Amino acid sequence: MTQLIHNKRKALIFSFQKNFSVLPLAKGFLSIKFQRSAISSMPRTPVEWQRTQLEGATMSIWEVDIYRRPRQDAAGNPLWELLVCDSTGELLLERLEPQSQVNAAWVQAELQRLGETVGRPQAIHCFRPQSCNLLELVCQQLKLPLVATRHTPVLKILLKERWQPANGDYDPLALERPAPVPMPENLWGDRWRFGALAAGDLEIAFRDRPIPVLHLPEALLPLGLGLASTLLIPGVVIEGGRQAMKLAFWLESVQPSSLHFIPGAPDGLILEASLVDRWVLATTEDSEVRSAGQTFEQRKRASLGVHFLLVQPDESGMTFSGFWLLREG
């Protein structure tokens, strides 16, 4: 039976059952509160990962897509589009060419000319695996960093505006996604639960903590997105025990993108990672957990998709192993 426990440093903590697959599950939702005075005295984290720096810093970024479009030339050959925009929303380049003409040399020549015209970017971002494969060689030749990331918001808006309205069921953002696979057994933690933290407390709670793996991009901070400071940002808290650091570094290696509670038989907690990977973090058939999962999804919608993943060794709240601020979509 689930027991409600009071703790001076946290609002509500629920005990856990041990009979669920992958990770044992909490029954219910946890609201997290932090003492601001204790947080402000913590030293700044020694590690800021390159991925966080690239997504959080203000710099010249090109968002690039190269893929087949629902068009043909006069001879009936499929057309491919090279589309480039910057992070401010400016369309920099659009080229349609027959599939036979699209190769690394052609892309390199187009991007090199563009760089000579508007200036070289500091990095290129792409969200489609096929585009990233082609751009990898191109960026090596141009000596430009390539970042494979789902976070290409301007490019995705542009693709929808250009191709979706006049092409019926065609989805310019569609990707082939493999079926979810279980996370490695040797990384299983002790237990996990859903949680929530007020938007106004989130950055204060984690920005200056000595967290070995910290992913807190400026672009996803709730207050910067115009969310109310009292709005609860949902998340998942994993107590990894002795595996906490291994789990945190593994999660960073797969590049978490978003978390989803999927109703089914059984229900599942799914981690979307990298460009198209999906991992099963937990499964359950418990009705109380399903209710908490539905609350998690409702709060995600209210928070514009922003949510978090926290890994800690135990429930003391004194030490954190990893924190990721994520956004769906």
Instruction: Encode pLDDT of 199-212 as tens digits.
Output: 999 999 998 889 99
> What tokens were used for 234?
């949902």
- The total of structural domains in the chain comes to 2
Residue 316, judged by CB atoms within 10 A of its CB (0-12, 13-18, 19+), counts as exposed
CATH of the domain at 94: 3.30.420.10
Looking at the fold, whether 11 and 115 belong to one and the same domain comes out as: no
More confident residue, 207 or 40: 207
Largest CA distance in the chain: 73
The gap from C-alpha 89 to its chain's centroid, in whole angstroms, comes to: 21
Provide the pLDDT confidence category of residue 52 given band limits of 50, 70 and 90: very low
Q: Which helix (H) or strand (E) holds 148?
A: strand 146-148
pLDDT of residue 92: 97
Residue 170 falls inside a structural domain: no
Looking at the fold, whether 48 and 70 belong to one and the same domain comes out as: no
Looking at the fold, whether 46 and 64 belong to one and the same domain comes out as: no
Other beta carbons within 10 Å of 106: 17
More confident residue, 62 or 28: 62
Residue 264 falls inside a structural domain: yes
Helix (H, G, I), strand (E, B) or coil at 246: helix
Q: Which helix (H) or strand (E) holds 198?
A: strand 191-198
The fraction of the chain above a pLDDT of 90, given in percent, is: 64
Looking at the fold, whether 41 and 184 belong to one and the same domain comes out as: yes
Looking at the fold, whether 103 and 20 belong to one and the same domain comes out as: no
Q: In what order do the strands lie in the sheet with 146-148?
A: 91-98, 78-86, 61-72, 123-126, 146-148
Residue 197 falls inside a structural domain: yes
Domain boundaries, position 304 = 4-53+178-327
Region 222-241: mean pLDDT is: 96
305 φ/ψ sector (left φ>0, alpha ψ -120 to 50, else beta): left
Poorest-confidence range of 42-46, 80-84, 201-205, 258-262?
42-46
DSSP state letters, 256-304: EEEEEEE-SSSEEEEEEETTTEEEEEEEE--HHHHHHHHHHHHHHHHTT
d(CA 232, CA 214): 20
Looking at the fold, whether 33 and 106 belong to one and the same domain comes out as: no
Cβ within 8 Å of residue 137, ≥6 positions away? 104
Most confident of 42-46, 166-170, 217-221: 217-221
The fraction of the chain above a pLDDT of 70, given in percent, is: 82
Residue 206 falls inside a structural domain: yes
Looking at the fold, whether 292 and 309 belong to one and the same domain comes out as: yes
Residue 171 falls inside a structural domain: no
Report the chain's terminal Cα–Cα distance, integer Å: 37
Looking at the fold, whether 157 and 241 belong to one and the same domain comes out as: no
Looking at the fold, whether 96 and 32 belong to one and the same domain comes out as: no
Report which DSSP code applies to 23: S
Residue 274 falls inside a structural domain: yes
Task: Tabulate helix, strand, coil % of the chain (nearest 5).
Answer: 30, 35, 35
Core vs surface per residue 3-34: b (16+ CB within 10 A) or e: eeeeeeebebbbebbeebebbbbbbbbbebbb
Backbone angles phi, psi at 176, to 5 degrees: -75, 120
Most confident of 4-8, 215-219, 249-253: 249-253
Looking at the fold, whether 145 and 201 belong to one and the same domain comes out as: no
Looking at the fold, whether 158 and 297 belong to one and the same domain comes out as: no
Residue 302 falls inside a structural domain: yes
On whether the CB atoms of residues 199 and 302 are closer than 8 A, the answer is no
> What tokens were used for 197?
């933290």
pLDDT of residue 20: 30
Provide the pLDDT confidence category of residue 30 given band limits of 50, 70 and 90: low
Residue 255, judged by CB atoms within 10 A of its CB (0-12, 13-18, 19+), counts as middle
Region 58-71: mean pLDDT is: 88
Residue 173 falls inside a structural domain: no
Cα-based torsion angle of the residue sequence 37, 39, 44, 50 in order, rounded to the nearest 10 degrees:
-140
On whether the CB atoms of residues 301 and 261 are closer than 8 A, the answer is no
Looking at the fold, whether 187 and 282 belong to one and the same domain comes out as: yes
